[in-house]
Amino acid sequence: MRKVGEAIDQAARASYRGLAPSLGFALTGPPSERMVLLFLELLFFFSHVSLRTGFAKGLNRPQLEEIQRLLGPLLEAAAVGYFPCDWSEDRRPQFYEGLNRAEADYAQCRRLRPANMFDDGSLFGRLATRISRLWGSQNPVLFFAATTGPVDAFARMDLDRLMVNVARAID
């Protein structure tokens, strides 16, 4: 399970760093609230695609629920590790509420990749839409960056292998 959590964390970090130029923020200095929310959104997104991959690999509902239960604290630790100066006990309930809301929102998507630039019926299109809303912009360059960087990070996650290994471990 730890390796899945690490893959999610690494994908979120890579996407976050990749989005910095398009969103106009620096990777040094204290993060703004919006930057923290962006990183959390990326964690939530990559958590969701991990669970979807598990489902596609044949994991059953109890297995997926167990993975979800184990992932929560790992994702929280990733958030605290990335923004230690900006984390407090009051953020914990907000974190889990955000995770649950994002999970429900991404669950509505039926495709992985967008059919067109602004297609939010796909997972990556929905991520781009959520990032665009967070940033208060419908700029096509932002939307494109919010789609392509996370696609690259997702491709490097090796989720097929990781989720098969997790399925064996929790049986």
SS3 sequence of the chain = CHHHHHHHHHHHHHHHHHHHHHHCCCCCCCCCHHHHHHHHHHHHHHHHHHHHHHHHCCCCHHHHHHHHHHHHHHHHHHHHHHCHHHCCCCHHHHHHHHHHHHHHHHHCCCECCCCCCCCCCEHHHHHHHHHHHHHCCCCHHHHHHHHHHHHHHHHCCCHHHHHHHHHHHHC
pLDDT tens for each residue of the chain, 171 residues long? 789 999 999 999 999 999 999 999 999 988 888 998 999 999 999 999 999 999 998 889 999 898 988 898 899 888 888 876 556 677 777 888 889 999 999 999 988 887 776 777 889 999 999 999 999 988 888 888 888 889 999 999 999 899 888 888 876
Q: Tell me the residue range of the domain where 15 lies.
A: 2-170
| Per-residue pLDDT, 14 | 96
Query: Tokens representing 158?
Result: 């090796």
| Rounded-to-integer distance, Cα 37 and Cα 31, Å | 10
Question: What is the reported pLDDT for 82?
Answer: 80
- Distance from first CA to last CA of the chain, Å, rounded? 13
Are 40 and 13 a contacting pair, CB within 8 Å?
Answer: no
Domain count, the chain: 1
